[in-house]
Structure 1
Amino acid sequence: MLNVPSNFAEVKKKKAVFHGIQSWEEPTLTEWRPDNYRLMCANLGNEVTDDVLSKAFSRFPTFNMAKVVRDKRTGKTKGYGFVSFSNPLDQAAALEEMHGKYVGNRPIQLRKSN
């Protein structure tokens, strides 16, 4: 007998296939307000935590939160994370001012998140 999780229907709905490549919806996206403006932060080292990322962007007035995506099994960073702002002007300012700046041991790469 197969051990099927109780939320199997929900899990199945979150999976989509595009040209043979599976795409999964990140479950932590429900933690983010839909009316926020997010930036994807790439090239993050393992030393970067949510707090480190938050401190790097906290000088922008409408900064809300930061999240570093980590591997559930190893706890190591997957090399990217997200920051959110309430105002699109702060998002644009952060994108312009912080792109290429060092956060931790590496220069951060930024782009608008969908």
Structure 2
Amino acid sequence: MSIYVGNLSYDVTPDDLSAAFAEYGTVKRSMIPTDRETGRSRGFGFVEMSSEDEEKVAINALDGAEWKGRSLKVNKARPRDNNRQRGGFNRDY
């Protein structure tokens, strides 16, 4: 279970993200993916909290909230789709 946090400022660190969500419960982990070539934040992140109830409270409190000059998009993260095509052609045979 994790929370997707979109529209992050590019200067937000995983520690900043953890601190913001810690007001709503125990943060187990936070992550902000970076671009492979530039090392710059991709503008979104993920937060894992210790319970689903804490996640719901954080999502309700922070979705649409202004933080560091940005309006956050916060919702339950969807499971990663491991079947995505990564170039090439479709081999459905």
TM-score (ref. length: structure 1): 0.63
The two structures, once aligned, show a CA RMSD in angstroms of: 1.2
- Count residues with an aligned counterpart: 78
Task: Trace 1:43-82 onto structure 2 (pairs within 5 A).
Answer: 43-82=7-46
Q: Which of 80, 94, 107 is the matching residue for 2:71?
A: 107
Runs of 4+ in 1 over 4 A off after TM superposition: none
Structure 2: which 5+ runs fail to align?
Answer: 79-93
Bigger relative contact order (CA 8 A; separation at least 6): 2
Structure 1: which 5+ runs fail to align?
Answer: 1-36
TM-score (ref. length: structure 2): 0.76
- Higher fraction of helix: 1
Q: Larger Cα Rg: Structure 1 or Structure 2?
A: 1
- Higher fraction of strand: 1
